Amino acid sequence: MRTRKIPRRSLALAAAIAALPTAALATPAVAAPPNELISRFVELPRSPLPSDHAQRAITVTYRNDSARDRTVAPQILVESPANGPFLDPASIRLEVLGHDGHWRTTALASQTGTLYTLLDPSQLVLHGHGTLTEQYRLTVVGKAPLQGTIEPRVAIYR
């Protein structure tokens, strides 16, 4: 019998969908408006997790090439190595630069070895032909060296 390897990102998305209330999974006419459903992710360049306790700057940029407004949400994934060990959210500090110029810590959830930021708190409406630029900084605070990959992306809602 053939087996297929399922990428951790797919498992994390499946887990996020499984955690939704049943009403959110109903047809859009009955439950959530269509603009609250994710239509796709725009994957941005990956980078390795810093091996020491240095800070890593991460910039998430997305341009809305459409003339219409779009709901988007930046997201940071931190993938554990395929062969383990899984990363612990307490080993990574992720901060986002607020509009007031101050850094604030962002919580990381964990699913099957992938650490990720939640989409709901970062959702925003990006106007037609507008550009989203979010600044993050990631610091390994756990026992170094840790291994993994930083994978920024942007969720695009319908």
What pLDDT is stored for residue 34 in this prediction? Answer: 43
Q: How far is CA 22 from CA 18, 34, 35, 78, 128, in A?
A: 9, 16, 18, 28, 32
Q: What are phi and psi of 109, to 5 degrees?
A: -90, 170
What whole-number percentage of the chain has pLDDT above 90?
65
Dihedrals phi, psi of 94, to nearest 5 degrees: -120, 130
- Model pLDDT, residue 24: 41
Confidence of residue 153 (pLDDT cuts 50, 70, 90): very high
Q: Is the pTM of this model over 0.85?
A: no
pLDDT at site 10 = 54
Is 133:44 a contact under the CB 8 Å cutoff? no
Tell me the CA distances in angstroms from 134 to 57, 89, 151, one per residue in order: 11, 21, 14
pLDDT digits (tens, 9 = 90+) for 76-130: 999 999 888 899 999 999 999 999 999 999 999 999 899 999 999 999 999 999 9
Tally DSSP H helices, then E strands, for the chain: 1, 11
